[in-house]
Amino acid sequence: MQYRALEYSFRRSRSTISLIVKRVSKAIWSLHEKYVKLPASNEEWKNIANGFEKRWNMPLCIGALDGKLVRLRKPNNSGSLYHDYKRNFSLNMLALCDFRFRIIYVDVGEYGYKGDANVFSSSSLKAKLNDNLLNIPEPTNLPGLPDSDKINYFIVADAAFPLSLNIMKPFAGNALSHKQRIYNYRISRARRVIENVFGIMCVKWRILLKPIETNIESANWIIRAIIVLHNFLIDESTTNKTLSMVDHETEVNRDLENGEWRNLLSGSEPLPSIQQIQNHARNWPVEAKMMRENFTIYFNSDIGSVSWQEKMV
């Protein structure tokens, strides 16, 4: 945001414009309890899970999680606190979305040098998951397998996040079995939702494509306001309009076609991902590994497979 240009356009000082932007952003964020909120009941979580299963063939999934870096001008007296791995100054934004491309949780403000796993570990979302404070439904059977082991409802994430009973992520490495590659395809397909959320936001609020020219506090409020406005527009838009913006699959062959946001961002650098900090598989809970194996078996079974998955790996 170039306050210098606005100063001439509106005949107001930069300090006045900065104050107005901050106040308006805070006012918009004050609506977050209406527009940006985690489900409060079992039924609300089940509605999200049903949506992921119907639209993305991902049963028991209650959200897609990812983190991005929002670039800043160099903050005063910050040293290297906000210096990310790309040597830019930035804030971390951690977001969880539902199947409709709505953000249901956001954490903004961690230092840019932190990786995805560290940002998530210090988030209120992780604390609430650990303390069972989110009213997520009890573990249940996989669809079509009434006699199977009970499976947790879970969030899909990329390789940067820790594997747990609450988070399913892809298998890492290149020497994967065919069944593991099928699993990775299915997880990545569901996780595509959050990637598209960030893309849509960058198209509609291009301030995210450049370092934000404000102090850290104002930048934080601006980002939060954008989250509220994003959800407001999703709620007010028709389904067809939203679907035209996002990546979509052809009905016959399931080939992936770019959403409109990718074309509109052509030539621009999207929001960088938060740095992946290596985490070691030996530290993951055995139960989480077993859960991932159960999904791998399920996605490769007659009941849990989709007809086009073989050609995608």
Would the pLDDT of 275 be above 80? Answer: no
Report the alpha-carbon distance of residue 168 to residue 285 in Å, rounded. Answer: 12
Mark out the alpha helices in 213-300 (DSSP H runs): 216-236, 239-245, 260-264, 286-299
What's the pLDDT at 17? Answer: 78
What's the pLDDT at 86? Answer: 56
Higher-pLDDT residue of 277, 60: 60
Band (pLDDT 50/70/90 cuts) for residue 81 is low
Are residues 124 and 83 part of one domain? Answer: yes
Are residues 114 and 245 part of one domain? Answer: yes
Q: If you average pLDDT over each of 116-120, 180-184, 256-260, 277-281, which comes out highest?
A: 180-184
Are residues 97 and 20 part of one domain? Answer: no
Are residues 302 and 243 part of one domain? Answer: yes
Report the alpha-carbon distance of residue 218 to residue 83 in Å, rounded. Answer: 18
CA distances from 5 to 11, 83, 213, 278 (A): 10, 27, 12, 43
Band (pLDDT 50/70/90 cuts) for residue 77 is low
Band (pLDDT 50/70/90 cuts) for residue 277 is low
Q: pLDDT, tens digit, for every residue of 15-47?
A: 787 888 999 999 999 999 999 999 999 999 999
Q: Return all residues near 9 (Cβ < 8 A) that are at least 6 apart.
A: none
Q: What is the mean pLDDT of residues 110-132?
A: 79
Band (pLDDT 50/70/90 cuts) for residue 242 is confident
Are residues 182 and 113 part of one domain? Answer: yes
Report the alpha-carbon distance of residue 309 to residue 278 in Å, rounded. Answer: 29
Q: pLDDT, tens digit, for every residue of 197-209?
A: 999 999 999 999 9
Report the alpha-carbon distance of residue 84 to residue 113 in Å, rounded. Answer: 4
Instruction: For 106, list phi and psi in degrees, rounded to 5.
Output: -145, 140
Sort strands 154-156 and 103-111 into parallel, antiparallel or unpaired. unpaired
Query: pTM of the predicted model, to two decimals?
Result: 0.90
Burial zone of 281 (CB within 10 Å; 0-12 exposed, 13-18 middle, 19+ buried): exposed
Are residues 194 and 126 part of one domain? Answer: yes
**38 token code pair:** 């985690």
Are residues 48 and 16 part of one domain? Answer: no
Are residues 287 and 207 part of one domain? Answer: yes
Are residues 144 and 244 part of one domain? Answer: yes
Nearest-5° Cα angle at 22, 92 to 267: 50
- Per the structure, the count of domains in the chain is 2
Q: pLDDT, tens digit, for every residue of 125-183?
A: 999 999 999 999 999 999 999 888 899 999 999 998 999 999 999 999 999 999 999 99
| Structural contact between residues 75 and 89, judged by C-beta atoms closer than 8 angstroms | yes
Are residues 263 and 161 part of one domain? Answer: yes
Task: Give the residue numbers spanning the domain of 10.
Answer: 1-30
Band (pLDDT 50/70/90 cuts) for residue 220 is very high
Band (pLDDT 50/70/90 cuts) for residue 3 is low
Closest CA to 48 of 36, 59, 33: 59
Are residues 304 and 182 part of one domain? Answer: yes
Report the alpha-carbon distance of residue 7 to residue 14 in Å, rounded. Answer: 6
